[in-house]
Amino acid sequence: MTPQRQAPAEPDSDAEADDATVIQLSRHEPEQFTVLFRRHAPHIQRYVIRRLGPDAADDIVAETFLLAFRRRDSYDPARADARPWLYGIATNLISHHRRAEVRLYRALARTGADPVCVPFTDRVDDRVSAGQAGQLIAAALAGLPAGLRDTLLLAAWSDLSYEQIALALDVPVGTVRSRLSRARARLRRTLGDADPSALAEEPQT
């Protein structure tokens, strides 16, 4: 089974309709909601895996879209882009697994091997090791309060604007800015006074 070859051609009409229209349509034609899934699930899944690993991600991604589906009647049709809504639901679901998330960061910080990335190691000669920078980042993420971490990781990994992050987390946009600056400061502190660029490249052997 090779999904690459069997993926159906995207109907052109999908490209026309924005998320709000699709959600409106899905109120009477539930199958329309799968358009939203096809459009956004790949990004949501990547985001969830990066925080919780592949084991938990399948359930959370499915649950994110099923919750959204059940709440589709209350979606604000003025918001053309549904991503803040979906990332918000996913972030709430991730918060139930806070301990598991922190455990994974700590394991990486301690051992240098990242359990999250093992299934995606493609080549036998690839290193599963995240490198020193990865270890330090994991240590910093493990020590962040949940609100700062949610904000920081949405900013780094989701392509949402500050305004959209504010929508997703249901906080004022000013809060997003202040959380981000605090989170970045703590990250910089953990990475040390040394020039972080020195940590960036692992020499290939």
Partner 1 sequence: MNEMDLLTEFRAEVPLGVSPHAEELFRAGIQDHFAERARLPRTRNPFARIGMRWRLALAAGLAVGLALGVLVAVQPSGQRAGQPAGQPSAEAIGQPSVLTARMLADRAAAAALTGPTVPAGKWAYQRTVTYSASPPRGIPARLTQDIWSTADGSLEYQGGGWSRNAVQPALYRELSSLPANPVAIDRYLARLSYPNANATQTNDEVAAFTTIEQLLSSAILPPSLNAELYRALGDIPTVEVRSHVTDIDGRAGVAFVLPENSQSANLEIILDAKDYGYLAQAAWQPSNGTPNSAIPFTETAVLHTTLVSGPGRTAADLAPPSQAVLAAEQAAIAVLAAGNPGQGTALTHPGQWIYRKLAAAGGTREIWARVDDTSQASYVDGRLVTCARSATCASGIAWLMPAGPAYPVVYPSGAAARYPQLPDDPQALLDKLSTYPAGCADTAAYCNAVSVFAHMLLGYGNTLLGYGNIGVSPLTWYFSLADVPGVTIKHVRDAAGRADVEFSFPVTSGVTGILYNARTYQFAGYLDNGAVTLLLQQATVSGPGVRP
Residue ranges that bind partner 1, judged by CB under 8 A: 1-8, 30-31, 33-34, 37-38, 41-43, 45-46, 49-50, 53-55, 57-59, 61-63, 65-66, 69-70, 114, 116-127, 129-130, 133-134, 137-138, 152-153, 155-157, 184, 187-188, 191, 196-197, 199-200, 205
Q: Residue 6 or residue 78: which is nearer to partner 1 going by CB?
A: 6
In whole angstroms, give the CA distance from residue 30 to residue 35.
10
Nearer to partner 1, 70 or 99 (CB): 70
Please identify, using beta-carbon distances, which residue of 46 and 96 lies nearer to partner 1: 46
Question: Are the CB atoms for 141 and 133 separated by under 8 Å?
Answer: no
Nearer to partner 1, 137 or 169 (CB): 137
Structural contact between residues 104 and 116, judged by C-beta atoms closer than 8 angstroms: yes
The three-class DSSP label of residue 182 is helix
Q: Are 191 and 136 in contact (CB under 8 A)?
A: yes
Shortest Å distance, C-beta 10 to partner 1: 11
CA distance 67 to 135: 34
Measure the CA–CA gap between 175 and 182, rounded to whole angstroms.
11
The torsion angle over the Cα atoms of residues 133, 137, 140 and 144, rounded to 10 degrees, is 170
Q: Per DSSP, what are the bridge partners of residue 4? A: none
Select 78 or 205, whichever has its Cβ closest to partner 1: 205
Query: To the nearest whole angstrom, how small is the minimum distance from the Cβ of residue 133 to partner 1?
Result: 5
Residue type, 134: G
- The distance of closest approach from Cβ of residue 78 to partner 1 in the complex, given in angstroms and rounded to an integer, is 25
